[in-house]
Structures are given as structure tokens and as C-alpha cells.
Amino acid sequence: MQNVKKKPFPILKILVVQAVVVGVLAAVLFAVKKVAPAEYETLAKQYVDVAQNEAQGKENIQKAWSKIKAFFVDENNKKTTENAGGKDEDANGNKYPDNCTASKYVISDNICRPAKGNISSPFGYRINPISDKLSFHTGIDIAANAGENICAAYYGMVEETGADDVFGNFVKINHGNGIETLYAHCSEILVKTGEMVNGGDKIALVGSTGWSTGPHLHFSIIIDGIYCNPAFVIK
């Protein structure tokens, strides 16, 4: 008599399916817990903007974010991994703060000048016009008329907007790959957190809010948490 193979017991299949489903649900819940409730609106807005951009034939967000990169370079413009944050000194021997660097760098996209006007205060140590004490200036000031346009320097997502005692009304944009820009002392903010912007898009208006002696734009470039001299990329 021929032996007949017994079919696997149905309950085994059920248990396997249940285990897979539970595993998937656990993974989803684990991922969801990483996102704070306050961030859901921002994320939703981001994905809506991505869909709208694609529908309008704009560049895919992943491609746009991956194309911009920052590289620290030596005096011959050769790529280096060195970033001298906190180790630099100015001509008078004043040590730079830990989150600032004089290291030269390049960014792999042409900058859109954030405002029209001359640089009225450079990056580095200066006598603060408000406190009249020596302090480190983490960006450059561009003198401009009140109400003039402030534009995004590069493609990116508005990471934060708000009001600060020192910076007044400000906008912070995340450009991906560790690159951020800050626009301060605005009279009016024209964008919202989570909004995608292209380089050159109007994001705010020049003002004199916060610690300011007159209308101007304070502009900072931050790479991996380190404030860098914008003069290396702004002609």
C-alpha cells in the first residue's frame, strides 16, 4: 500500500500568517512612535508639496536634495575632511566658538544671493553694536532697505520659522546633506514650516526686528551644525 503524505495541519499556516501580520504591525508602530505628534502636520505638508511639485513637472525631491553637497577644501580647493570648528583663531588671537569655523568650503550648487545690498558686517569677532562688547558674529549682515525681498539661497524645506529676542523674525531652511541657512531680522515671514522652496523664491522681507540698529538681513550658513563664513560662496 502506497504511503500518503499528510498535509500540514491548517492551524500551523494560520499561526505563521498571524506571526507575519503581528511583526509588520509592530514595525509600523515602532516607526510611528519615532515621529512626535507635532511633526505629523509638517510631514503631511511636505508630502503634499512633493506630489504637487511632481504634478507640475518639477524636479523630484530626492534628486533635488541629493544634488547639493558641501565640501571643506584646502587652499588649493582640494577636498578635505578637516573642519577646524572651535580650533580657529582670528588675527588678534581670539579663539572661535566650538560651533564656528574659518575653514574654507564649497557647495555644489550656485547660491542665489538672499538679498540685494552690500555686506555691512562680516563673519567673525566684532564689537556688537547693541551690547558694545566683543562677540562672535555667526553670519554676515547685508544692508538693505526695509521691505526688500529676502530669497532662499538654495532649494530646500523650511525647517523653522519664528521670533527670537536676538534674531527677531527668522526663517531656517534645510537643504539636505547637513546644509542649513538662516535668515534673520525679517519684517515679515512669507513661508510656513514644512514648505518646499526653490533657490531664489521669496521667503521673507527685510526688517529690523530683534537686536538690530537698522534694516538688514543677517544670513548664516550652517554645515553639519557648524556656522561657516558665507563669504566663501557669496561673491
Q: What pTM value is reported for the model?
A: 0.72
Q: Which contacts (CB < 8 Å, 24+ apart) does range 108-111 have? A: 108/67, 108/68, 108/69, 108/70, 108/71, 109/67, 109/68, 109/154, 109/155, 109/199, 110/199, 111/153, 111/154, 111/199, 111/233, 111/234
Under DSSP, is residue 108 helix (H, G, I), strand (E, B) or coil?
coil
Calculate mean pLDDT across residues 109-116: 94
Confidence grade of residue 56 (pLDDT, cut at 50, 70, 90): very low
Confidence grade of residue 34 (pLDDT, cut at 50, 70, 90): very low
The 10s digit of each residue's pLDDT in 86-107 is 788 888 889 999 999 999 999 9
* φ and ψ of 18, to 5 deg: -60, -40
CA angle 200, 202, 206 (to 5 degrees): 115
**Nearby residues of 137 by Cβ (< 8 Å), 6 or more positions away:** 121, 122, 123, 124, 125, 126
